[in-house]
Amino acid sequence: MHTGRWFEAGPPLRCSLCPHHCAIAPGAFGLCKVRSNADGKIALPFYGEISSMAIDPMEKKPLYHFRPGSSVFSVGFIGCNLRCPFCQNWEISQSVDTRTRQFSPRELVAEALRLKQTSVAWTYSEPLVHIEYLLDAMPLVREAGLANVLVTNGCIEEGPAREVLAFTDAANIDLKCFSGETYKRVLGGDLGAVRRFIELCGELGVHAEATTLVVPGLNDSDEEIDACATFLASVSADLPWHLSAYHPAWRWEAPPTPPASIARHTQRARTKLRYVYPGNIASSANDTRCPSCSAVAVSRDFPFGKVDRSGLVSAGGSFSCAACGEPLPFR
Ligand code: SF4
Ligand code: SF4
C-alpha cells in the first residue's frame, strides 16, 4: 500500500493536503474519498487506479495558448475534494465505485509514447488528491520529453502546490466564482487556496489559463465576473480566461447558460484581460486575435476539429503575429 505525505499524526490523524484538513478515523476516508487512515498513516488505496484515458485536442482541456492544434494524452483518476453540484464528471469525481485499471507511472508514460503523444494531461476528476502519484509520474513524463498538463480545481495548500507546479508545464485552473461563501457553502472548496494556486503559477512561470463555468443564478452577476477578471488581470493581463457555458448535470437542473450571456461577459471581460474566450459554444470569439493589429493569429472551430495557427509565427520558442510581428503569449 502506498502511503501519503502531508498529514499530522494526531490523534486524530489529519490530512493536511488541502484546506479541508480532514480528521480521518481509523479505517475511514477523507472527503475526497481516496485518502484513508491505515495504522495512523495516510494510505492511498487508489494509487495508480486510472478511470479514464483518451486522446483529446489540447483546446478541449481547455488550453488555447499552449501547443495550439496539438493532441494530448488525457488521464483521469477518481475522487475530488470539492462537491460542485453541477459537476460534469460526477460519476468519477464523487464515486469511487467506478471501474478502474492499475497503471504504474512507468506504464503510463510508456502508453503515452506508444500513442505518439507529446503531452500528458492529468484531468477529468481532481488529480491533486493523487499528488503522490503525480510526483512519481510527472518527472518520468518530462524525462521522456513530454509535457505535463494539469487540469485542476487548484484547491490545495501552498507547500504541495509548489511541489507539483515544479513539474507542470501548463495548467488550467477552475476559478469557479469569486465568493468565498459560495466556494465554501455550495462547492465545498476554498477561494483563498485557489487564488493562491493561480498566483503561484504566475510566480513560478507555469503557463496558466483559467476556466469559469458560468452558472445562471450562482456566479453570473456582472459584479462577480468583474471581480474574477480583476483578480486574473492582477496575475497577468495575458492570462487566457475561458468563460464556459454550463449544462445541467448531477444535482443542478437549472436551464443551460444562454449563449448571449457568455458572449456579453466575454466582451466585458476583454476590457481587463486580453484573451477571453467563450467555452462550450461555437463562436468566432474562440479565435485569438492579435491585440495590436486584430489579425487572426489562431482560428478554432468548435469542437476543435480544425485549429489553424497559420497567423502565428514561432522562432526560438517565442511567438508573434504573422501580420504585424507583435509578440504573442503562446508556448
Ligand atoms: S485531500 Fe482529501 S483527505 Fe486530504 S484534506 Fe483534502 S479532502 Fe481531506
Ligand atoms: S472540482 Fe471539478 S471534478 Fe471536482 S466536483 Fe467540482 S467540477 Fe467536479
**3-state secondary structure at position 214:** strand
* Rounded Cα–Cα distance for residues 68 and 330 (Å): 8
Instruction: Give pLDDT, residue 179.
Output: 98
| Ligand 2 pocket check for 153: Cβ under 6 Å | yes
Domain boundaries, the chain: 7-43, 49-286, 287-331
* pLDDT score of 305 more than 80: no
**3-state secondary structure at position 62:** coil
Residues with Cβ within 8 Å of 103's Cβ and at least 6 positions away in sequence, in order, are: 48, 50, 111
In sequence order, which ranges of 54-146 are alpha helices (DSSP H)? 90-93, 105-114, 131-143
* C-alpha to C-alpha distances, 281 to 73, 89, 245, 314, nearest whole angstrom: 23, 19, 7, 29
What is the rounded average pLDDT of the residues 26-35?
97
* pLDDT score of 8 more than 90: yes
- Among 302, 300, 301, 270, smallest CA distance to 288 is for 300
Task: Specify the residue for cell string 456582472.
Answer: 222
Instruction: Give pLDDT, residue 49.
Output: 98
* pLDDT score of 317 more than 90: no
> Which CATH number applies to 49-286: 3.40.50.300, 3.20.20.370, 3.20.20.70, 3.30.1300.10?
3.20.20.70
Distance 7 CA to ligand 1 centre (A): 10
The band of 304, judged by pLDDT with boundaries at 50, 70 and 90, is confident
The DSSP call for residue 183 is I
Tell me the Ramachandran region of residue 35: left when phi exceeds 0, alpha when psi lies from -120 to 50, beta otherwise: beta
Please state the atom number of ligand 2 nearest to the C-alpha of residue 80: 4
Distance 115 CA to ligand 1 centre (A): 33
What is the rounded average pLDDT of the residues 185-201?
98
Instruction: Give pLDDT, residue 75.
Output: 98
The band of 10, judged by pLDDT with boundaries at 50, 70 and 90, is confident
What is the rounded average pLDDT of the residues 17-27?
97
C-alpha cell at 87: 459537476
* pLDDT score of 195 more than 90: yes
The band of 302, judged by pLDDT with boundaries at 50, 70 and 90, is confident
> Taking CB atoms and a 6 Å cutoff, what residues make up the pocket around ligand 1?
15, 17-18, 20-22, 30-32, 35, 81, 129
Please state the atom number of ligand 2 nearest to the C-alpha of residue 125: 3
